[in-house]
Amino acid sequence: MLLGRAINLDMIDADVIYYPNFFSTKDADTYFNSLLKNLHWQQDSIIIYGKTHLQPRLTAFYASNKNRYKYSNIVMTPNPFTGDLLKIKDTIESELKINFTSCLANLYRDGKDSNGWHADNEKELGENPVIASVSLGAERVFHFKHKFNKEQKRSLTLQHGSLLLMKGKTQAYWLHQIPKTKKDIEKRINLTFRIIA
């Protein structure tokens, strides 16, 4: 199944659509196993208030161009897309009619791995970044909070084979995170397709 049900999160100052069953369970299983084995997973160090920490997850970066991606003092140099990533990218592009150049992949090894509050607003992503975010493996909770209006919050569970599309003003007005969880959970892979000029 492709696209399937589309849920507009109806957020103010944002444009976010969730496709819970973008990929079939069978395709999602196959991609998960293959990406887990074949991507160049690495654990980078980040500097927070002058102190060096290991990032609480593994990452890997792929692109069809040579453009690097800089965030949190990390500079990522792209690997060429793998066959799996190209297939996933092609599927998303033909369904959404949007073309992407790059993919930042995240591997959350267990519930202790996380992704802190941030917006994907680096200048190489352009004015209104379009980010198509694929979830594979264990379900994780995803939080949004408005940058200026404390009452505006959203929480959803990102399921295996789902796609979360963020565009428009989303990154200008909202932060998002994957919090840690005490639950005993398995690995999750996330692929964020982006346009990096």
Ligand X SMILES: O=C(O)CCC(=O)C(=O)O
**Binding-site partner at residue 142 among ligand X, Fe ion, none, CB < 5 to 8 Å by type:** ligand X
Q: Nearest approach, Cβ of 23 to Fe ion (angstroms)?
A: 20
Closest-CB residue for ligand X?
A: 190
Instruction: Please tell me whether residue 120 binds Fe ion under the rule CB under 5 A.
Output: yes
CA distance 72 to 41: 18
Phi, psi of 137 (to 5 degrees): 95, -145
Q: Which is nearer to ligand X, 50 or 195 (CB)?
A: 195
Under rule CB under 6 A, which residues in 163-192 are in contact with ligand X? 176, 178, 190, 192
Q: What DSSP letter does each residue of 57-98 carry, written as one string?
A: SEEEEEESS---EEETTEEEPPEEPPHHHHHHHHHHHHHHT-
Residues across the chain: 197
Q: Smallest Cα–Cα separation from 126: which of 65, 188, 78, 197?
A: 197
Q: Nearest approach, Cβ of 157 to ligand X (angstroms)?
A: 11
3-state class of 147 per DSSP?
A: coil
Q: Which of 23, 62, 92, 120 binds ligand X (CB under 6 A)?
A: 120
**Binding-site partner at residue 101 among ligand X, Fe ion, none, CB < 5 to 8 Å by type:** none
Binding site for Fe ion (CB under 5 A): 120
